[in-house]
């Protein structure tokens, strides 16, 4: 980050503190690596406002732990500014750090270029962002670390694809007993016959395996403790949730149906756009859009300039 970016970031962080103090916000959320003097920052936040630091990697997470500060760890992908807000707030909801009615202040920016955006919201006031309000906790039947691991893998697939090609995928997590009633295998289950320890998604060795099987049509079905039950699975749930947003297809319809019928969470990756969506109780509760690629080439000159003839 350049010196000018750092100066601008400091100004944004200072402004966020003033806004939080003025509005009596319940929470202020900021990337921990963007704060120069953490102790001074925490001391400047007044009243009952809680500071929630956002960590992008293990180093940041360890720093927050050392400070005994509230924190959420998010994958360090190049999301849009609103995508960064959605990601962090979903994680905060899953940990009970945000609740219905809370006013919070959030600062974000382009990854690698400091902070440049300050947002003030009340939980429930933004329909697109907070469709999860008044629903059960995201991780009611699922270990938080399992939810976060699956979400991270979904984002990696969205951003990297597989062997340079876009990949669509679907993960259904939790409530395995009921989810299994709606499952039908398209192929021989590649996880059949392995011990639960060998096929747990929390095992780092499973990440590449999951990505490899993501190209198979069908869903991954994962127990709340992280054990992968199957891949290449068709979901036969037909209970319709609310009408799907325009342009979403069969993968998203299946996600809505199975989460309407069971106490599960579904995460989908769109092959065409790379958008990651989270589904709960038959509804899409949020979507995480990739930031557009920044061109490394200079723009083409206007017609008649920079050429002869």
Res. 124: pLDDT tops 50: yes
Question: Which token pair is 248?
Answer: 């979403």
Query: Residue 292: CB partners within 8 Å, gap ≥ 6?
Result: none
In angstroms, the CA 20 to CA 195 distance is 50
Fold of domain 144-288: YojJ-like (1 (3.40.1700)
Q: Give the rounded percent of residues in the chain with a pLDDT score beyond 90.
A: 36
Tell me the mean pLDDT in the region 88-112.
82
Cβ 85 vs Cβ 106: under 8 Å: yes
Residues of 209-223 as b/e, b for ≥16 C-beta within 10 angstroms?
Answer: bbbebbbeebbbbbb
Reported confidence tier of residue 301, pLDDT bands at 50, 70, 90: very low
Res. 296: pLDDT tops 50: no
Q: Cα separations (Å) of 83 from 79, 177, 194?
A: 5, 33, 37
* Alpha helices (runs of H) in the chain, residue ranges in sequence order: 3-23, 38-44, 58-66, 81-94, 144-160, 176-179, 206-213, 250-261
- Check: CATH 3.90.550.10 for 3-122? no
Res. 294: pLDDT tops 70: no
pLDDT at 153: 93
Each residue's pLDDT tens digit, 30-41: 988 888 888 888
Q: Cα separations (Å) of 273 from 78, 111, 253, 287?
A: 14, 20, 17, 12
Each residue's pLDDT tens digit, 91-100: 888 788 888 7
Reported confidence tier of residue 113, pLDDT bands at 50, 70, 90: low
Phi, psi at 105, each rounded to 5°: -110, 135
3-state secondary structure of 104: strand
Phi, psi at 28, each rounded to 5°: -125, 125
In angstroms, the CA 90 to CA 267 distance is 13
In angstroms, the CA 290 to CA 81 distance is 10
pLDDT at 295: 41
Reported confidence tier of residue 302, pLDDT bands at 50, 70, 90: very low
Tell me the mean pLDDT in the region 188-200.
94
Higher pLDDT, 22 or 292: 22
Each residue's pLDDT tens digit, 211-265: 999 989 999 999 999 999 999 999 987 755 456 666 677 888 899 999 999 999 9
Compute, in degrees rounded to 10, the torsion defined by CA atoms 110, 112, 114, 116: -10
In angstroms, the CA 209 to CA 186 distance is 18
Let me know if the fold of 3-122 is the same as that of 144-288: no
pLDDT at 29: 93
In angstroms, the CA 34 to CA 189 distance is 45
pLDDT at 148: 86
Range of lowest pLDDT (137-151, 177-191, 241-255, 258-272) = 241-255
Domain ranges, ordered by start, for the chain:
3-122, 144-288
pLDDT at 34: 82
Tell me the mean pLDDT in the region 254-283.
90
Tell me the mean pLDDT in the region 17-40.
89
Reported confidence tier of residue 297, pLDDT bands at 50, 70, 90: very low
> What integer best gives the mean pLDDT of the chain?
82
Residue 159: which of 45, 77, 98 has the closest Cα? 77
pLDDT at 173: 96
């Amino acid at each position: 980050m350049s010196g000018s970016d750092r100066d601008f970031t400091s100004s944004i962080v200072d402004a966020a503190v003033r806004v939080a103090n003025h509005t009596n916000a319940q929470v202020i959320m900021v990337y921990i690596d963007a704060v120069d003097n953490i102790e001074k920052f925490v001391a400047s936040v007044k009243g009952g406002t809680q500071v929630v630091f956002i960590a992008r990697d293990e180093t940041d997470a360890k720093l927050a732990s050392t400070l005994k500060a509230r924190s959420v760890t998010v994958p360090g992908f190049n999301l849009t500014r609103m995508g960064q807000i959605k990601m962090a707030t979903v994680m905060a909801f899953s940990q009970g750090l945000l609740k219905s009615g809370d006013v919070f202040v959030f600062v974000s920016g382009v990854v690698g270029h400091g902070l440049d955006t300050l947002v003030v919201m009340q939980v429930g006031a933004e329909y697109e962002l907070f469709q999860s309000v008044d629903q059960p906790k995201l991780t009611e039947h699922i270990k938080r670390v399992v939810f976060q691991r699956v979400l991270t893998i979904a984002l990696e697939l969205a951003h990297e694809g597989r062997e340079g090609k876009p990949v669509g995928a679907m993960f259904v997590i939790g409530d395995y007993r009921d989810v299994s009633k709606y499952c039908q295998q398209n192929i021989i289950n590649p996880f059949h016959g392995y011990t639960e320890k060998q096929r747990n998604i929390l095992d780092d060795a499973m990440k590449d395996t999951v990505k490899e099987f993501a190209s198979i049509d069908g869903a991954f079905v994962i127990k709340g403790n992280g054990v992968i039950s199957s891949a290449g699975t068709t979901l036969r749930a037909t209970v319709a949730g609310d009408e799907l947003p325009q342009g979403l297809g069969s993968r998203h319809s299946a996600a809505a149906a199975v989460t309407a019928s069971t106490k599960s969470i579904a995460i989908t990756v769109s092959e065409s756009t790379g958008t990651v969506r989270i589904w709960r109780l038959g509804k899409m509760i949020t979507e995480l859009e990739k930031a557009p690629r920044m061109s490394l080439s200079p723009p083409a000159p206007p017609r008649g300039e920079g050429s002869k003839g």
